[in-house]
Amino acid sequence: MLREVWSGSIEILRAMWITLKHFFRPPVTNQYPDDRVPVYPRFRARHVLKRYENGLERCIGCSLCAAACPTDCILVIAAENTEENRRSPGERYAEVYEINLLRCIFCGYCAEACPTEAIVLEHDFELSTHNRWDAIITQEELLEPHEPDYILIRDDQVWVEPKWGHLTK
């Protein structure tokens, strides 16, 4: 009984000490969106479909990304390229390509599986919508270059001391 009271008191004192230690530290809160937090270069957020320099789409409609997706949120419908309508260098291209961001867990498996590096997860994390249908990003949206100026990317090589100053290199 005495031992339990003693160990309980020690735990309470330990918890109080942690509370006291943090009480005198400056707050960690970032005033988002006024105070933007830079993301790491490898941070994964909204997808983008890439093109080659000559304008052709990298996507060849193979559906490997959809097969690799653990949440089944990618829809790919492929079609054959013709000489009159060539959209990718391969035999086929994606006629329909959609991602349902409500189901996406940003695991990056789709990008890993893609043989042509067509689908890439970039840095835009401002993905909230008022309408659930707007969470489905279409091929047209995915093929547009998407580099919003509110995204700050931090230098992966340089450690920036956090504002609250209790993390070290």
Buried b / exposed e along 26-41 (16+ C-beta atoms within 10 A): eeeeeeeeeeeeebee
Is residue 94 helix, strand or coil? strand
Which residue's CB is nearer to ligand SF4, number 45 or number 154?
A: 45
Q: Work out whether 110 is an interface residue with ligand SF4 (CB under 6 A).
A: yes
Judge whether 118 and 59 are in contact, CB under 8 Å.
Answer: yes
Residue pair 105/126 in contact (Cβ under 8 Å)? The answer is no
* Residue 142 makes contact with ligand SF4 by CB under 6 A: no
In the shown chain, the binding pattern of residues 58 to 97 toward ligand SF4, with x for contact by CB under 6 A and - for none, equals -xxxxxxx--xxxx-xx-x-----------------x---
Q: Of residues 107, 127, 135, 136, which one binds ligand SF4 by CB under 6 A?
A: 107
Q: What angle do CA 95, 99, 101 make, to 5 degrees?
A: 165
Minimum distance from residue 33 beta carbon to ligand SF4 (Å): 24
Which chain residues interact with ligand SF4 by CB under 6 A?
A: 59-65, 68-71, 73-74, 76, 94, 99, 104-110, 113-114, 116, 118-119
